[in-house]
Amino acid sequence: MNRDAFWDAITGLVAMPAHLRFTGWAELELREPAAAAVLRDQLEKYAQTAADFTVAYDRRHRTP
């Protein structure tokens, strides 16, 4: 839950893909709403700075 460390990671420590898709996003929001909000905020901020990056949040629940 260190948003500064996550920001540092996605902006310089790791190579980000051009497209990132989360499946089961609704489940994460239910289980960890604060963490999901931080993650979404950081990725949306990153998307504004990286012209070729998109992120999608698939809200369908995972099937076992």
Alpha carbon distances (Å) from 37 to 10, 28, 41, 51, 52: 16, 10, 6, 22, 22
Domain range summary for the chain, segments of one domain joined by +: 3-58
Backbone Cα Rg of the chain: 12
From first to last of the 64 residues of the chain, give the pLDDT tens digit: 588 888 999 998 999 999 999 999 999 999 999 999 999 999 999 999 998 999 999 977 655 5
The whole-model pTM stands at 0.79
pLDDT (0 to 100) of residue 3: 84
Which of 50, 49, 56, 46 lies closest to 23 in space, CA to CA? 56
Distance from C-alpha of 47 to C-alpha of 7, rounded to nearest angstrom: 12
Provide the CA 22 distance to its chain's centre, in angstroms.
7
